[in-house]
Structure 1
Amino acid sequence: MDSGYDLRKKFIINTVFILLIIFISYVLLKYGISIVSPFIFAFIFAYILNKPARAISTSTRLPHKLVSFFIILIFYAVAGIVVFLLGVRLTSTITRIVSMIPSIYDKQIGPLLMSAFRSIEEIVYDIDPAIVEVLNEGFTQFIRTMGETVTNFSLRLLRSISDIASSLPLFFIKVLLMVISTFFIAMDFDNLVTFTRRQFSQQGNKVINTIHQYIVNTLFVVIRSYAIIMFITFIELSIGFTILGIKNSILIAFLISIFDILPVLGTGGIMVPWVIVTLLQGNISRGLGLFLVYITVTIVRNIIEPRIVGKELGIHPVVTLISMFVGGNLFGVVGVFGLPVILSLLVHLNKAEIIRVLK
């Protein structure tokens, strides 16, 4: 029987070992994936395009490598054209909007603020005329500071766009590596898979097959879960915008519900600026209505997202919420979706008795 000292020693060793594994995994996921990301995406695209290439090759009796080559060529040509056109349009639109921000402030927001301040001065004058001069000086300084802040913010955004443009060479190198790797992997996909499987034992291949099937099914489940969330958000926004009498309410609700999938920005990325601008324009009732719609959508999403995603993935809503929060802070957008999937995979492997982590 182990003594108390031996038990404590074993506990400390196991704890240090687990923490070391967690630290190494974090470093690999945080920095290693970024380095090998072109090859990861190349394998994913090759895997996806392999099935249609095989089907066409079987039906037409053309060589599999030839069919894979042309399918990948067509895929990247279409994707490249679409990304290029969207990128050019998006960049020009953002640049135009950002350059217009100071003008919008000077012509619309500034005068609205001055009008609001004058109303406050009139109220204060009836109470104590001596305070008006102090308020007037403070308001003038506030307007000047706001103008400088808006201008500096606009300049910072424009510089950020320039910084993104300066990082394009490295991005294009990664894209080129990804494209070339996709061709090589796709045209020799079966041999690569066979070679990789030979490096593992029969039990190892069984684990790989289990993980592969579960990840494929889980990705479908995650997509379905967020499609449900997006649909619920769309219904809420459509009802709210229709009640407020907003033109093209259905179309606007659809666009915002798509934007809502992004965990960093979400509905607030559009609704909050919209609410602020509407209130500054003096339309208090519509501004408050939009704010109420935004609060409702946010509360409902925060309630249903862990439940829907957790239920589909087979993990508790609280665990789902914690994993999404931790994943988002550690790995960004990828972590929000990825960490719940990894936890779900661990639970599945534990239930299948492939690994023993949980009791």
Structure 2
Amino acid sequence: MNLNKQRAFIIHFFFFLILTLLVYVGIKYVFPLLMPFVVGIVIAMTFRNIIDMIEKKTHIKRVFVSLFILLVFYSLLGFIISIIGVKMINFISSLFYSLPSLYKETFLPAVQTVTDNMIQKYPSTKTYIDNFMNNIDQSLFDSLSKISTKVVGMATGLASQVPTILIKLIFTIVSSFFFTIDYYKITRFIIRQFREEQQKMIIKLKDNIIGSLGNFIKAYSAIISITFAELSIGFWILGIPTPFLFGLLIAIIDIMPILGTGAILLPWSIVALIMGNSKVGIGMLVLYIVITVVRQIIEPKIVGQQIGLYPIVTLILMYVGAQLMGVLGLLILPVTATILIKLNKEGSIHLFKI
């Protein structure tokens, strides 16, 4: 009997190992390839209920309701992206144009004042300070040259990617229309390809995936909202223009594990301190520390509560997922674990005892 149990355990272990590898390969390589269609079906699933409700109450054909809803959705989305894009381009342009004057009128006089005070107190350091100033000029010149080269390279790279992006965008929009219009025809066709028991399993799996993804989105919406509130209040106190717009943009960036708020707030703090604006410099540093501490405390707890995992388990899965699959792994691994736990509780699979 023990030998049979060991064999069963080994078979289950290798089955789930192969399944995990297939999921990993699918997410890593197949998922990006089919991204326009994945986004299309997600949009179709998102608007399915509202389209069903309108169709039922107005008795208008599904195709017309779907077209109307998606046209409104894409129009609003395009309008919001356009406004944010224009504001960001204007801000970056004004920042680049003002850099030379900031250097000559603010940075250089501030450094000169510090060095003059040093020379007055310690005359023997004049040679070293002069060399230091020359090195700063050369370093800044080199840095600006590198930044300019990188910006031009990025702009050129982005321009070369425009046709690819447009093709993906067109396929995403078109696929979302087809998936929305023929949602029930497509799902019924797929379900018919399986036996009755398998159909129940697939429907259960679909419900678990949608439920877990929904809870995960709710969790990160709450985290983004808290970070947005912290940033907006902090920027408002520091007197930063358009605090709510900057708060929203940086809150979204904070979701990304590689970037985070530190990628914006820390350089901002350093530049402000160099320019002599100690209020903004220290304020940005304090704001970054507060956001980081709050984020580390609330993220595992909120995500864990929403998807039904212990905070430490959620934290481990998010870290491992990010290491294996990047930003996408933050979502995939915890959601996969949640689905497996739910299926195990329901008795569909038997991985561990509860």
Find the partner of 1:168 among 159, 162, 165. 162
- Relative to structure 1, the CA distance from residue 295 to residue 69 in structure 2 (aligned partners, 3 Å threshold; closer, same or farther) is closer
The aligned counterpart of 2:71 is 73
The aligned counterpart of 1:357 is 351
What TM-score do the two structures reach when normalised by structure 2? Answer: 0.83
- Relative to structure 1, the CA distance from residue 32 to residue 106 in structure 2 (aligned partners, 3 Å threshold; closer, same or farther) is farther
Alignment of 1:317 with 2:311, yes or no, is yes
Distance 2:8 2:104 in 1: 68
- Relative to structure 1, the CA distance from residue 299 to residue 89 in structure 2 (aligned partners, 3 Å threshold; closer, same or farther) is closer
- Relative to structure 1, the CA distance from residue 266 to residue 72 in structure 2 (aligned partners, 3 Å threshold; closer, same or farther) is same
Q: Note the aligned Cα RMSD (angstroms).
A: 3.3
The aligned counterpart of 1:31 is 29
Give the number of equivalent residue pairs.
Answer: 349
Distance 1:37 1:18 in 2: 25
The aligned counterpart of 2:111 is 113
Question: Match for 1:154: what amino acid?
Answer: S
Q: Secondary structure at the match of 2:239?
A: coil
The aligned counterpart of 1:246 is 238
Find the partner of 2:296 among 299, 302, 325. 302
1:200-241 C-alpha deviation (Å, 9 max, x unpaired)? 223322233323333333344334333443454456557766
Q: Secondary structure at the match of 1:208?
A: helix
- Relative to structure 1, the CA distance from residue 234 to residue 193 in structure 2 (aligned partners, 3 Å threshold; closer, same or farther) is closer
Distance 2:245 2:99 in 1: 26
The aligned counterpart of 2:133 is 139
1:108-149 C-alpha deviation (Å, 9 max, x unpaired)? 334333333333444443xxx1x4313421332133112321
- Relative to structure 1, the CA distance from residue 94 to residue 329 in structure 2 (aligned partners, 3 Å threshold; closer, same or farther) is farther
Q: Secondary structure at the match of 1:260?
A: helix
- Relative to structure 1, the CA distance from residue 343 to residue 98 in structure 2 (aligned partners, 3 Å threshold; closer, same or farther) is farther
Distance 1:192 1:205 in 2: 14
Distance 1:246 1:110 in 2: 24
Percent of residue pairs identical: 31
Distance 1:71 1:277 in 2: 46
* Correspondences of 1:144-159 after superposition (within 5 Å): 144-159=138-153
Question: Match for 2:238: what amino acid?
Answer: I
Unaligned ranges ≥5, structure 1 = none
1:73-126 C-alpha deviation (Å, 9 max, x unpaired)? 34334434443454455445434534544553344334333333333444443x
Distance 2:62 2:97 in 1: 52
The aligned counterpart of 1:63 is 61
Deviation of 1:178 after TM superposition, in Å, equals 1.8
Distance 1:352 1:98 in 2: 58
Distance 2:218 2:22 in 1: 32
1:147-194 C-alpha deviation (Å, 9 max, x unpaired)? 321332133123212311220111111111122222222222211111
Deviation of 1:334 after TM superposition, in Å, equals 2.7
Question: Match for 1:246: what amino acid?
Answer: L
Single out whichever of 226-235 and 320-329 deviates more from structure 2: 226-235
Deviation of 1:309 after TM superposition, in Å, equals 1.1
Find the partner of 1:178 among 154, 172, 176. 172
